[in-house]
Homo-oligomer: A and B are copies of this chain.
Amino acid sequence: MMALGQAARAGAEALRTATAEQRSAAIRAMAGELRAHAGEVLAANARDLASATRLPDRLMLDEPRLAAIADAVETIAGLPDPVGVEIARWERPNGLDIARVRTPIGVIGMIYEARPNVTADAAAICVRSGNAVILRPGSDCLGSARAIHAALARGLERAGLPASVVQIVPTADRAAVGALLSGLGGNLDLVIPRGGRSLVERVQAEARVPVLGHLEGICHTYVHAAADPAMAAAIVRNAKLRRTSICGSTETLLIDRAALPMLPVIAEALVGCELRGDGEAAAMVPMRLATEQDWRTEHLAPILNIRTVSDWREAASHIARYGTGHTEAIVTEERETAEAFLGQVDSAIVLWNASTQFADGGEFGFGAEIGIATGKLHARGPVGPEQLTSFKYVVRGDGQVRP
């Protein structure tokens, strides 16, 4: 593992000093090799599936899915290269010209579960942002991930970059995670865990390096008294049911007492969704009573909690207590109430009159994302190539000394 770190550091240095066009060419070559070696990847995936104990759908690859993965990599090759971009520039009264310029972070450790596509996505986003990456896939998808990684490494070498830019932990041994979390002797700058709560919590508890955490999304949609009923129904339906398995799906509907007469319209839009509400909600629409545990649960399933509140402040209090700081929405026609809610609620993403399922780097225009950060340090919300950079100050003078 320590050798992996040293190789990654050398890879990061080669990538940092490469040109934007070299990084783009490398990502295109990675996509090309993925397509050229689809057979090996699908065969490895078939072996993973045969021995898998859980999650077969996420794990399963077929030709269209693999083509989509290669296409996503190709798309990242076309994204603007963030390295060296000036974020800000100003002149001081003494004539010093100060620029804040994006730089890569260095070496990133990516620890994830059984989604083989993350292998390619994470690698491409890291190369785009000038960072070397060490991948640690879940054991269930290890064979698929290794086959994908082999293709990516060939692409890097074909483009003249060292294969050590993208490495994969060679063992399924859990001790490898411990080694990553210890920082590989200074050769790991950031760890990104992507998976269930227990994985993320373990990483946050044990890591000796900075962590870009991606906690579960217990997201809320709040329907205010002055909401348009049809809009409320459409947004709640989309926020809950468009895809129930993504972190931006709404788990709890908060509804003003004065808006309860809209509940039947909303419930009608939620065909196929189990409702669990408080007494007042259940009095409007027959449903099972919600438990304390429901408010704390990321269902990731067609189950919606419903809680009645007095006003936006009570909605915000519920969110502060039960939310995970991910994404929350308000539906209302009253601008003032909307702005109060948007200002007060301290989540990574707050929306007015839009679905929580927009919590996504692609939907934000970032082109791609490696996850959605729920912490407040470094990056928050969707993490795309720009969010995987640091910066430095470049100061140009003509002989200034400090008085």
User: Contact residues of A with B, CB < 8 Å?
Assistant: 16-17, 84, 90, 92, 96, 98, 103, 105-106, 189-190, 204-205, 208, 210-211, 228, 231, 234-235, 237-239, 242, 338, 342-344, 346-355, 357-358, 360, 363-365, 375-378, 380-381, 390-402
Do B393 and A350 have beta carbons less than 8 Å apart?
yes
Each complex incorporates copies of this chain amounting to: 2
Do B105 and A358 have beta carbons less than 8 Å apart?
no
Query: What are some 8 contacts across the A-B interface (CB < 8 A)?
Result: A92-B364, A235-B401, A338-B396, A352-B397, A354-B400, A358-B395, A364-B393, A380-B393
| Given A98-B364, A376-B103, A392-B347; A355-B205 close (CB under 8 Å) | no
Do A377 and B205 have beta carbons less than 8 Å apart?
no
Do B401 and A234 have beta carbons less than 8 Å apart?
yes
Do B365 and A90 have beta carbons less than 8 Å apart?
yes
Closest to A389 in B: B376
Give CA–CA (A234, B400) in the complex, Å.
Answer: 9
Q: Which of A238, A349, A392 has the largest number of chain B CB atoms within 10 A?
A: A392
Do B351 and A395 have beta carbons less than 8 Å apart?
yes
Q: Pick the contact of A235 from B90, B234, B363, B399 — CB < 8 Å?
A: B399
| A399 partner residues in chain B, CB cutoff 8 A | 228, 231, 234-235, 353-354
Do B353 and A397 have beta carbons less than 8 Å apart?
yes
Do B401 and A242 have beta carbons less than 8 Å apart?
yes
Give CA–CA (A73, B82) in the complex, Å.
Answer: 37
Give CA–CA (A80, B86) in the complex, Å.
Answer: 23
Give CA–CA (A353, B343) in the complex, Å.
Answer: 44
Q: A204-B208, A351-B397, A380-B392 are in contact. List 8 more A-B contacts (CB 8 A).
A: A103-B376, A105-B376, A189-B377, A210-B377, A350-B393, A352-B396, A357-B402, A377-B377
